Structure 1
């Protein structure tokens, strides 16, 4: 699939720690939600896949020349499936589900990225001979193989190693169309977490397989009771086992990912860490090899500073400002993703020159079930999003604005009732949303801004409006952002418009601009 590479790179912050022109790279190397990382190297170029679950398009594919600075190439799919959960219908939703951890491979001139989904009930494999174009063909089959790793063995057979706790190896058909009848299908590692704990809160999962010097290495994580996410590894001379294992990292919760080498022969583990409300952020951990085992970290710790240069600014097109000044029918910049599957007949760019139009799709009970919320990642240490919208074509019962999106959300919006409009600040600090402030609006245009402070896990969001785009007025109260498992995703900025009485109203967004500073009032 082709998507436009149009972007305005105005993310004037370091991808690691907010320091411009840093001499050394720092962890996390992307201060944003980029979890479940899988990385391969082809010659001198690295490619990485990650998880965006219920977002569409999904399964992002990135590339890098230095393991630190990454460019988004595209996505493996536009929509994962078409069902009630992904359409947010009949009180269903795919929050926290969709597609999960992926496996990325390059074999005999073809790139493969595979994922699995309880929402579709299937295992999905995408293939291309040109990863830079990001035009993927799909193969899928039942069942959904949890946290699998795709393995092309030397004898020409293809396997997936998957599961939780007990890790099962299944042989696939040669065309990858499904599990092979009569093929190998056995548990090859029992209770994999036992090498780290006898009392696991989370059994071993997150499988990533590497073959090095004739030995198979299986990377997994587990979570001991009262402890933290922990990295373990098993090894064997045969993909079918027997395996021996050990714990290789237990520090700051940095774990789950893969091993990768550089063209110069250095090794790293690409892992991630729970990073508060911004989400799960990727880390690089140096690796040495001793007696055929990977030794992760520096004296057993995941270092904050790496012996890698980082002279680039920002992290390319993973986030972007957008003036919406393209021709009708033009595709969105890659940084944008829809919350669940979009309804393409109800949004447009260029129908009104220089604007994004969002038309209400149907009547909904709340914003979390609204179709066509257009989102981008928040980012650390500080991030903000600002927009201007024309609300003159709203209908009674419509609400449109800018949201900090997660289960415990907050938004600033315009609400129309009885032909009158008001600016509202709404916060769902607990399960039920509350209107914390309401201001009458007589103008047809209004400006909104949300600022997020992720420094030292502060995780606060602040809300503003303006009538002229110059003087910003704080509204409502701060949102204490919280990463929650039901949504299983870091906070996102989102543009939305939903109806509670009658569909068909619309609003026009003039622009979307990101920044990395808090207002002076803060």
Structure 2
């Protein structure tokens, strides 16, 4: 495509589970992060010059203090801030939801340690500078609190400032759930972009609404075009669309909306990042203009074509924590379990895969396979490969030196797979549009298919009440360690034999 105007893109612009995107334009670049929940490192940072193609640029949070919910990125007087809600978890010292802030001289960091803002029982912070020059945070509810000039402390208490826009009672949603406030100033107006309808549940629930005011102190007027974005029918490609930010585009006079949504038929992949064009009406309201964001759309000016998903391998000569691998539900200092020694050595944790804080990776392909060479080190260790949703829901297989252990639905199954009793085995899992098949072999020998296949289309948020995704993972449980070598990931064409 030689004509830049002819470049198109297709959603998602960043595949896989990357919910609640927060985005900021810095010069000619865009920076984005998203809810990383119980992953460490947390808050992966991505950068782009065209809103379509994104590259990993580091992580802002080495060790989360809890489950890391929807954040906001802000710039003020040349300094950058990320406002972070942490939610208590079994491994966290927090006892109630709390909002913290980290700051840096540049988006690439280094980022400060989290600073407690003293805000409790609130999530989804949205930063704004008012016409009075003062800084404020809006949170779910919609409530507001003032910040000190340096943005590192609060002034006063949370106060309710906006009642939201009410959709008809017969609309099928999860819950009203007024949340996700993102604010921008354009011309004489402040715009408050929020989400209602619940982030999961029925596919027609989550939606984007807009209100505006000439003052950050209100009153807020609801848009006559609400909801600006919604999944109107479960036949659409993208479900539960919401948690949006409106951002100026690359052309200087174009505007775009970045949001998240579930792909129809693939809730297992989590909430993926969506991009769509925005227009402004003559009376200065933003409206979404794409008839179907599941089709090819004209890309922002100067955008490059999207690359196809590709295979990759990892020989573990370097440790790509954050970029590729993250721990699930880590204790403080979890990275000390890892060392590079002729592969990746993972010290065992817990007594089962669900307790092991596995190393997981986000993927966005409908069908894929992954494999690794696994060697047990020391006594009392079990290790293997999983498709991991959370500590209650996973499937896969491992070895303990005496037998193969098989897992489905988050439990060890009764099936005794006749795999060799060995301390080293190569394992492979394939997820072929929710049909999961396993293989194993001793090094240098042929692959044997595991006798049992699993169907995993139900491994998603509505089943387990946890806003995560199904991810390839490596685990080691018990008292010893395991060495992982020659990891490989491949997108596959449905039905291709191993």
Q: TM class, shorter-chain normalised?
A: 0.7 to 0.9
Q: CA deviation at 1:141?
A: 2.3
- Call closer, same or farther: CA 1:115–1:333 in 2, change over 3 Å: closer
Change (3 A) 1:444 1:140: same
Aligned to 2:161, the other structure's residue is in SS state strand
Which residue of 141, 144, 147 maps to 1:172?
147
What is the SS of the residue equivalent to 2:16? coil
- Provide the C-alpha distance between the structure 2 equivalents of 1:137 and 1:356, rounded to a whole number of angstroms: 28
Q: Does 1:370 align with 2:364?
A: no
1:157 partnered with 2:122: no
Change in Cα spacing, 1:399 to 1:110, as seen in structure 2 (3 Å) is same
Find the counterpart in structure 1 of residue 345 from structure 2: 357
Task: Give yes or no for the alignment of 1:236 onto 2:213.
Answer: yes
Alignment of 1:138-149 (within 5 A): 138-144=114-120, 145-149=122-126
Q: Equivalents in 1 of 2:304, 2:286: separation in Å?
A: 25
2:145 paired with 1:187: no
What do the CA deviations read for 1:305-353 (whole angstroms, capped 9, x no partner)?
A: 110154242579xx96321124xxx664622111122544753333x2x
Whole-Å separation in 1 of the counterparts to 2:254 and 2:124: 27
Deviates more, 1:305-314 or 1:71-80: 305-314
Structure 1 residues 384 and 325, CA gap change in structure 2 (3 angstroms): same
Name the counterpart of 1:323. 315
- Tell me the secondary structure at the aligned position of residue 242 of structure 1: coil
* 1:255 and 2:242 are equivalent in the alignment: yes
Q: Does 1:434 align with 2:413?
A: yes
Distance change >3 Å, CA 472–CA 176, structure 1 → 2: same
Hey, what does 2:297 align to over in structure 1?
Answer: 306
In structure 2, relative to structure 1, the CA distance for the partners of 1:177 and 1:29 (3 Å cut) is closer
Aligned positions of 1:445-456 closer than 5 A: 445-453=424-432
TM-score calculated relative to the size of structure 1: 0.80
State the alpha-carbon separation in 1 of the partners of residues 79 and 152 from structure 2. Answer: 16
Q: Does 1:25 align with 2:9?
A: yes
- The match for 1:514 among 481, 484, 489 is 489
Equivalent runs, 1:274-293 vs 2, <5 Å: 274-275=262-263, 276-290=267-281, 291-293=283-285
CA gap of 1:31–1:460, structure 2 versus 1, over 3 A, is farther
For 1:270-300, what per-residue CA distance to the aligned partner results, in whole angstroms no more than 9, with x for missing partners? Answer: 011123101111111111100211111324x
Shift of 1:383: 2.4
Q: Distance in 1 between matches of 2:297 and 2:435?
A: 29
Structure 2 regions of 5+ residues with no counterpart? 1-5, 89-93, 232-238
Inter-CA distance 43–345: structure 2 relative to 1 (3 Å threshold): closer
Aligned positions of 1:84-95 closer than 5 A: none
1:267 matched residue in structure 2: 255
Cα distance in 1 for partners of 2:119, 2:55 equals 33
Contact conserved, 1:347 with 1:356, CA < 8 A, in 2?
Answer: no
8 Å CA contact 1:73, 1:133 repeated in 2: no
Task: Indicate the residue corresponding to 1:493 in structure 2.
Answer: 472
Offset at residue 474 of structure 1 (A): 2.2
| 2:105 equivalent among 129, 133, 148 | 129
Q: Structure 1 179/237 Cα, relative in aligned 2: closer, same or farther at 3 Å?
A: same
Of the three residues 401, 417, 425, the one matched with 2:406 is 425
Once the two structures are TM-superposed, the CA of residue 247 in structure 1 deviates from its matched residue by: 1.7
* Aligned-residue offset at 1:36: 0.3
User: Are residues 402 and 66 of structure 1, via their aligned partners in 2, closer, same or farther at CA, if it must alter by over 3 Å?
Assistant: same
What residue number does 1:11 align with? none
Moved more, 331-340 or 382-391: 331-340
- Structure-1 separation of matches of 2:15 and 2:87: 28
Could you report, residue by residue, the CA deviation over 1:137-164 in whole angstroms, capped at 9, with x for unpaired residues?
Answer: 4322222331120112243311111123
Of residues 390, 403, 408, the one that matches 2:393 is 408
The answer to whether the Cα contact below 8 Å between 1:278 and 1:379 also exists between their aligned partners in 2 is yes
Return the structure number with greater relative CO, CA threshold 8 A, min gap 6.
1
Post-superposition offset of 1:197: 5.1
Q: Aligned partners of 2:460, 2:147: CA distance in 1, in Å?
A: 37
Q: Give the structure 2 partner of residue 472 of structure 1.
A: 447
Q: Aligned partners of 1:348 and 1:443: how far apart in 2?
A: 23
Distance 1:106 1:346 in 2: 34
Q: How many equivalent pairs are there? A: 454
In the alignment, the residues of structure 2 paired with residue 451 and residue 149 of structure 1 have an alpha-carbon distance, to the nearest angstrom, of: 40
Structure 1 match to 2:337: 347
Runs of 5+ unmatched residues, structure 1? 1-21, 87-97
Structure 2 partner of 1:212: 186
> Which has the larger displacement, 224-233 or 272-281?
224-233
SS at 2:43 equivalent: strand
Match in the other structure for 1:70:
54
1:295 paired residue among 287, 310, 335: 287
State the Cα distance separating 1:241 from its structure 2 match. Answer: 0.8
> 1:23, 1:478 → 2: CA distance?
40
What is the RMSD computed on CA atoms of the aligned residues? 2.6
What is the deviation of 1:133?
4.0
Corresponding position: 1:108 with 2:108: no
Kept after mapping to 1: 8 A contact 2:60/2:109? no
| DSSP-derived class of the 1:206 partner | strand
Q: Determine the structure 1 residue equivalent to 2:235.
A: none
Residues 1:263 and 1:520: Cα distance change in structure 2 (over 3 Å): closer
Which shows bigger deviation, 248-257 or 196-205?
A: 196-205
Once the two structures are superposed, what CA deviation does each residue of 1:239-289 show, in whole Å capped at 9, x if it has no partner? 111111132122243222200111312111101112310111111111110
